[in-house]
Chains A and B, each alone.
Chain A
Amino acid sequence: MKETRGKIYGVAGPTVMVKGMTGAIMNTVCLVGRHGLLGEIIRIKDDMATLQVYEDTVGISVGEDVISYGDPLSETLGPGLLAGLFDGIQRPLDKIRVAAGGFLTRGVKVEALDIDRIWDFTPVRKKGDTVSPGDILGTIEETERITHRVMVPPGLGGVIKEIKSGKVSGAEYICMLEKGQFIELYQEWPVRRPRPFKAKLPPEEPFITGQRVFDTLLPVAEGGTAIVPGGFGTGKTVVEQTIAKFSRSDIVVYVGCGERGNEMSEILSDFPKLKDPTSGLPLSLRTVIVVNTSNMPVAAREASIFTGITIAEYFRDMGYSVAMLADSISRWAEALREISSRLEEMPGEEGFPPYLATQLGMFYERSGKVMCLGSEERTGSVTVISAVSPPGGDFSEPVTQASLRFAGTLWALDPDLAYRRHFPAVNWLASFSLFQAELDDWFGREVAEDMVRLRNRLYSLLQRQTELKDIIQIIGVEALQESDRLTLEAANLATEAFLKQSAFSEIDAFNTYEKQYWMLKAIFAYLESAGEALERGVFIETILESPVKWKLARMKDEPNEGFSTKARALIGEVVSEFSMLEEK
């Protein structure tokens, strides 16, 4: 690689200008100044290169040395990522803690993955086999939960001359090809370049979150993208964490981008204790955490989402379904804006650089369900769920608007719901899912034939609720028609019993599709039976006071297992209760 040396000319916030960098390559990394801080070239003008520096620039002087070896900002991929905790440029934070104590000092050099750690490698290929990029050479039980599939890196391939078996470490090669190329346990990959795959596949299965309002009303497809915008306190982080805990994905990559340290400490202390709903093993065994809190260097915050999605793609390539959770994409955009303004670029809307949407698009488009590289048939997916923090909760701002263009699903959070502690505080009428049509087949096939119809009925019921509430504002509830009062009652029941869900209750936190379906059945059984009673001439007051409503309101406390039996019994009770009510 090409080596370039220069001298620092100027320092402004996280950016450093370097003179004498003729021949330097865009987006390659440099070592900056006497502390050897890591920086990346983001602009070249004549012999002046501008760098964003991934560590605090305080104390840097004009005239200090800068050296570039011409490598792009890359990360190390291989076993040891899971259960790991990294900063925005993949430095392992627990190892830094051992080396430097409780606070992040500058210039600490620690390898991302432990190169000396011994792994047990089981080859699935043998000497003489011909392999191509993406082919699985062998496996390592990385954690009890996840088998790490060691793949031929993109760009390599040929006939195997030697392949190891048993104990291996990152320091040595695991496979030698006849052309004399070595394949190592760890591979380097530039974070800003998407990893290759054979083909993208259309979305046809939902990404299961276990949250009723998402799975039933506003589904996101596996390999799709969802954005969660909301003002502060509307519960974005709780949504992200709930999905990290309960979603049915194999791997979770959680990126805490410019957010709170205490929240991360909560995740770090809870995930090793919480059980993954699929396997019953600790959640941390399927999770990789990338964290660059708001007070950590801003340039590393910018890099963090790319670091995260590269890890997600790496596991996708092994054939896993990966959930990539970014909290929050707005902090990333702000980092971009901060650096752009130091470069004195012409600002776009709200001071964000004009290339904001392009860069965002490049990130979101790295999601998807793909046919993985390699001669074996396997699919993998990266589903991106990203929180957006619009200033003042105003969705017209550039980051929300740009994200909306790329997102398949919008879960719009509403402060009004959050204030009344209705969580997830998703405004069901303001949100949308573009995947609905694509997923309807799956719903009909895998959940129930009438699932789509029930969902559509729920939509109309909720729409009617809003209208009726508007009317009440003018004429009062007593003036409503009796049938409307019943509709309103059923809609309120659906809101309370179905849409509201506690992320902190053991039973309620994750619902299977089966349970969601039967809950809807029960709610509409109530509406129908009560409607019949009303037709028959029963007083509306008698109907509204029927205690069976409270049983419906509490059905969320019943576990997933055996729910359909209980729901059938409950529906029977609802029907007989209303048929027994006496007419006026």
Chain B
Amino acid sequence: MSLDLIKRQYRTLATISGPLIFVDRMTRGSLGEMCVVDLPEGEQRTGQILQLMGERAVIQVLEGTSGIDSDESSVLPTGETARVGVSMDLFGRVLNGFGEPIDGLPPIVPDEYKDINGLPMNPAAREKPDFFVQTGISAIDGLNTLVRGQKLPIFSGAGLPAKELALQIVRQARVAEAEEFAVILGAMGITSRESFFFRRSLEEAGALERTIAFINQVNDPTIERLFTPRIALTVAEYLAFERGFHVMVVLTDMTSYCESLREIGSAREEIPGRRSYPGYMYTDLATLYERAGRLKGGKGSVTLMPILTMPDDDITHPIPDLTGYITEGQIVLSRALHRKGIYPPIDVLPCLSRLMNLGIGKGKTRDGHRTIADQLYSAYARGIDVRRLVTIVGEEGLSDLDRRYLAFSDDFERRFVGQGWEDRSIDDTLDLGLELLKAVPEREAVARRR
């Protein structure tokens, strides 16, 4: 490459701050370009240009700046943006958050390299997502149906079984989706215990040969977390749109990702937004989440299931809030249900699947699915109201009808939501829903139809 002839090393490090270095008189280099940072003892690190101002470049160093000096360390722009090698050989492999193998197996020979930022899908080229994915979970299939190409996050709280649920979905959806199914796990800032759990569960599910795992552990470099989901999604797009796979991408934990984003933002001395997260976090998250979808004329799909931990179970915290504004609904876990021993502890009232109507009905799930879902919602919401009422006026103040709704909501939580590890078909889910609805007055149910 002719570019190599004019490559220049810069020894003009002016400032080192947090994960950033500021390099002066850097006449070459473009926004987003990757650089090699040479340390005095011969160690090499990877940097990326974040900003250019005159001849001063701001570079984030993936592995951190510890050990870098302003005297001898040097920076060499590579002329390339961040890319990842893609190949079918990635299946079954475990890689770090930057796409390097960590499973002790030989390196992967990529078919080609792809820019990890991808490109926005042309809205005119998007295919409407309308293919029902059976997850085997009643609260999802029946009430908040997932479709191929959707982005549906799980809003969890510390200590709630979000990862278990995600893996159950992956395992059960795999059965329904059969052959062209692939799973990509992008883990950011997870503990080694969680890392073991994921690997073991995927292995037990027999899904490992269809899985690619990118794992950034909590003790790995923070900046790497900003790359992990992008790499995972780039590989997913390759498998979906060039190889025809139906790819389910699980990203966990988006809260760690956002914290890294905040760290970089404050190191760059940017004006902070809500709770000190950067003002561009919505746009940044959108460039990840919006990569889910289907392409007109293409065979595959990217379905995205990000997991995030709501700090202090607060759904209005910027991370769940901005996520909910971008994704097509959300599955919300509840501490109260978890304490009651209900698994999966899905609190259906704040849950939503915006694409549900596209994936249900005659020929997809069953005629009348919408009506059953609406009636269950309405009856459960009323039951919850009554439950609140009981705490104030006591059971005596209730009308007969109210008591029936109260009983319904208990049944609904225990049997419909709390299915445990059962893999329930959509027919079983809807039949169970109908059976539960018998307990509430039928005439009311009819009135609720619209």
Cα separation A553 to B445 with both chains bound (whole Å): 11
Q: Knowing A62-B27, A266-B358, A391-B274 touch, does A473 contact B124 (C-beta < 8 A)?
A: no
* CB-based contact A500/B450 at 8 Å: yes
- B273 neighbours in A (Cβ, 8 Å): 337, 350-351
- A565 neighbours in B (Cβ, 8 Å): none
* CB-based contact A61/B402 at 8 Å: no
* CB-based contact A102/B389 at 8 Å: no
Cα separation A40 to B319 with both chains bound (whole Å): 32
Residue of A nearest to B326 (CB): A294
Shortest distance between the CB of B269 and any CB in chain A (Å): 10
Shortest distance between the CB of B384 and any CB in chain A (Å): 9
Q: Which residue, A60, A232, A258, A478, has most C-beta atoms of chain B within 10 A?
A: A232
Q: Which of A10, A258, A266, A393 contacts B128 (CB 8 A)?
A: A266
Which of B60-68, B219-227, B391-399, B422-430 interfaces with chain A?
B391-399
Interface check B118, CB cutoff 8 A = yes
* CB-based contact B31/A268 at 8 Å: no
Interface bin, chain A: 35 or more
- B125 neighbours in A (Cβ, 8 Å): 97, 101-103
* CB-based contact B358/A104 at 8 Å: no
Interface check A1, CB cutoff 8 A = no
Shortest distance between the CB of A252 and any CB in chain B (Å): 17
* CB-based contact B450/A557 at 8 Å: yes
Cα separation A300 to B73 with both chains bound (whole Å): 39
Mark interface residues in B23-65 (1 if CB within 8 Å of A CB, else 0): 0000111111100000000000000000111110000000000
- A338 neighbours in B (Cβ, 8 Å): 279-280, 283
Interface check A240, CB cutoff 8 A = no
Q: Which of B29, B127, B289, B324 contacts A232 (CB 8 A)?
A: B324
Cα separation A62 to B206 with both chains bound (whole Å): 51
* CB-based contact B51/A11 at 8 Å: yes
Interface check A296, CB cutoff 8 A = yes
* CB-based contact A504/B150 at 8 Å: no
Interface check A191, CB cutoff 8 A = no
- B397 neighbours in A (Cβ, 8 Å): 475-479
Mark interface residues in B308-336 (1 if CB within 8 Å of A CB, else 0): 00000000111001101110111000000
- A393 neighbours in B (Cβ, 8 Å): 316
Q: Which residue, B52, B54, B322, has most C-beta atoms of chain A within 10 A?
A: B52
* CB-based contact B123/A268 at 8 Å: yes
Cα separation A237 to B120 with both chains bound (whole Å): 21
Cα separation A394 to B316 with both chains bound (whole Å): 9
Kindly identify, within residues 488 to 545 of chain A, every residue whose CB is under 8 Å from any CB belonging to chain B.
Answer: 496, 500-502, 504-505, 508
Interface check A474, CB cutoff 8 A = yes
Cα separation A263 to B289 with both chains bound (whole Å): 14
Mark interface residues in A130-159 (1 if CB within 8 Å of B CB, else 0): 000000000000000000000000000000
Interface check A269, CB cutoff 8 A = yes
Residue of A nearest to B323 (CB): A232
* CB-based contact B31/A57 at 8 Å: yes
Interface check B362, CB cutoff 8 A = no
Cα separation A56 to B326 with both chains bound (whole Å): 20
* CB-based contact A96/B122 at 8 Å: yes
Interface check B416, CB cutoff 8 A = no
Cα separation A508 to B28 with both chains bound (whole Å): 63
Cα separation A42 to B270 with both chains bound (whole Å): 20
Interface check B357, CB cutoff 8 A = yes
Cα separation A380 to B269 with both chains bound (whole Å): 49
Kindly identify, within residues 7 to 43 of chain A, every residue whose CB is under 8 Å from any CB belonging to chain B.
Answer: 9-13, 17
Which of B6-14, B84-92, B373-381 interfaces with chain A?
B373-381
Interface check A261, CB cutoff 8 A = yes
Q: Which of A58, A291, A553 contacts B31 (CB 8 A)?
A: A58
Interface check B22, CB cutoff 8 A = no
Kindly identify, within residues 258 to 286 of chain A, every residue whose CB is under 8 Å from any CB belonging to chain B.
Answer: 258, 260-266, 268-269
- A97 neighbours in B (Cβ, 8 Å): 122, 124-125
Residue of B nearest to A557 (CB): B450
Interface check A359, CB cutoff 8 A = no
Q: How many residues of B contact A (CB 8 A)?
A: 85
Which of B168-176, B246-254, B293-301 interfaces with chain A?
B293-301
* CB-based contact A553/B447 at 8 Å: yes
Shortest distance between the CB of A541 and any CB in chain B (Å): 10
Shortest distance between the CB of A287 and any CB in chain B (Å): 14
Interface check A85, CB cutoff 8 A = yes
Kindly identify, within residues 383 to 413 of chain B, every residue whose CB is under 8 Å from any CB belonging to chain A.
Answer: 389, 392-393, 396-399, 402
* CB-based contact B51/A10 at 8 Å: yes
Kindly identify, within residues 222 to 257 of chain B, every residue whose CB is under 8 Å from any CB belonging to chain A.
Answer: 241
Q: Which residue, B29, B282, B355, has most C-beta atoms of chain A within 10 A?
A: B282
- A58 neighbours in B (Cβ, 8 Å): 30-32, 81, 117
Cα separation A296 to B179 with both chains bound (whole Å): 33
Mark interface residues in A103-123 (1 if CB within 8 Å of B CB, else 0): 111000000000000000000
Residue of A nearest to B297 (CB): A102
Interface check A550, CB cutoff 8 A = yes
Cα separation A232 to B126 with both chains bound (whole Å): 23
* CB-based contact A94/B124 at 8 Å: yes
Which of A71-79, A206-214, A413-421, A451-459 interfaces with chain B?
A413-421
* CB-based contact A260/B290 at 8 Å: yes
Interface check A184, CB cutoff 8 A = no
- B330 neighbours in A (Cβ, 8 Å): 232-233
Shortest distance between the CB of A438 and any CB in chain B (Å): 32
Residue of A nearest to B271 (CB): A341
Cα separation A500 to B447 with both chains bound (whole Å): 12
Kindly identify, within residues 58 to 101 of chain A, every residue whose CB is under 8 Å from any CB belonging to chain B.
Answer: 58-63, 85, 93-94, 96-97, 100-101
Mark interface residues in B92-131 (1 if CB within 8 Å of A CB, else 0): 0000000000000000000000000111111111111100
Interface check A347, CB cutoff 8 A = yes
Q: 29 interchain pairs (CB within 8 A)?
A: A10-B51, A13-B280, A96-B122, A102-B125, A102-B241, A231-B324, A232-B321, A232-B324, A260-B328, A262-B292, A264-B126, A265-B123, A268-B124, A268-B126, A294-B283, A294-B289, A295-B289, A298-B280, A298-B283, A334-B283, A341-B279, A351-B271, A351-B279, A420-B349, A420-B382, A476-B393, A478-B399, A504-B370, A505-B450
| Nearest 7 CB-CB pairings of A with B | A476-B397, A392-B316, A294-B286, A420-B381, A232-B324, A58-B32, A295-B290
Further 19 A-B residue pairs, CB within 8 A, beyond A11-B30, A61-B29, A261-B123: A11-B31, A11-B52, A12-B51, A13-B51, A59-B31, A97-B122, A97-B124, A102-B298, A103-B122, A105-B119, A233-B324, A233-B350, A293-B286, A347-B271, A391-B318, A391-B321, A391-B322, A473-B393, A478-B399
